[in-house]
Amino acid sequence: MTGGLLDCVLTASASLARAWRAENARCAFPLTQAELHAIREPWQLCRTVERERGMKFQMLGTALAVVMSTAACSDAGGGNVGGAGNGGSAGAGGSGSAVLPAQGAVSLFVGPPAVRANGSSCPESGQTYDVGAPGVPSTSSPGDSVVDGESGAVISCSVRGSGTYAFSGSLSASTIEVSHYPINIAFSDGAIAADGTGTATVSVFTPTLAGTFTSSAPCPIQVVNHQVKGGSIWAEFSCSAVTSPPTGSCVAHGVLVFENCDGS
């Protein structure tokens, strides 16, 4: 390897390392410095360790950054990467950071209320729908998120703020229980206070409901283990009534995880 090409590769590697550190800081559940140093596979998109602690760690380095850095070195023939050193930037996309798709997971229970109002009914007898890849979220673990665009999943979300947050999100994906029909769940007008409590309007669709049921009042939200930041949230939700006029009325509750959202 020529000296110029070696310098190029080292420059690309240094840029990728900086991008790794920056992306790790953006994770909902970032790796510690010791764990970051222990990583030996830069193409690894997501790893879960020490699951018994209920902590999810994500390494958001990407193969794209590696491939683009190497290609840039080859094209440069021993020159600069992406114009580095001449006012350019080394690394993927000129920024050292790849754009990551939204991802999420949910455990959703839908069923009839304990006390039914006159004339109301719930098509669900009491069913839990889980979306995860494959681990599903709970109050002890965030599970394994499904990525937007993979296996037919459609996910979008926004979590913005610092201290207090505004959030919204929607997830449409097949579930572990009913793999051939997707469920839809959406959160709108979400607001999280500094103590981790909040509210959101929740809408749900399942194959059995055969229609969209929406909360008649904002549903209580409780962030799990303080895990909310710009771009991500892990929380419980509980709706005493999601309705579809004139007679449809159910309860809905569960756990949600959204990551790589707008606002990160």
Q: What is the pLDDT of residues 191-248, one digit of tens each?
A: 999 999 999 999 999 999 989 999 999 999 999 999 999 999 999 999 999 999 999 9
The one-letter code for the residue type at 95 is: S
The residue extents of the domains of the chain are 3-94, 103-259
The pLDDT value recorded for residue 255 is: 98
SS3 103: strand
Torsion sign across C-alpha atoms 173, 263, 228, 111 = negative
The pLDDT value recorded for residue 119 is: 83
Q: How far apart are CA 125 and CA 110, in angstroms?
A: 8
The pLDDT value recorded for residue 183 is: 95
Asked if residue 262 lies in contact with residue 160, where contact means CB atoms within 8 angstroms, the answer is yes
Q: How far apart are CA 155 and CA 153, in angstroms?
A: 6
SS3 62: coil
Q: In this structure, what is the dihedral angle of CA atoms 114, 238, 207, 101, given to the nearest 10 degrees?
A: -170
Q: How far apart are CA 220 and CA 165, in angstroms?
A: 14
Token pair for 136? 């599903």
The pLDDT value recorded for residue 28 is: 59
Asked if residue 72 lies in contact with residue 12, where contact means CB atoms within 8 angstroms, the answer is yes
- C-alpha separations of 196 from 158, 177, 192 in Å: 17, 31, 6
Statement: the pTM of the whole predicted model exceeds 0.85: no
> Which positions of the chain have pLDDT values less than 70?
1-98
Token pair for 124? 């669900």
The one-letter code for the residue type at 182 is: P
The one-letter code for the residue type at 97 is: S
For β-strands 154-162 and 164-174, DSSP reports them as antiparallel
Asked if residue 128 lies in contact with residue 177, where contact means CB atoms within 8 angstroms, the answer is yes
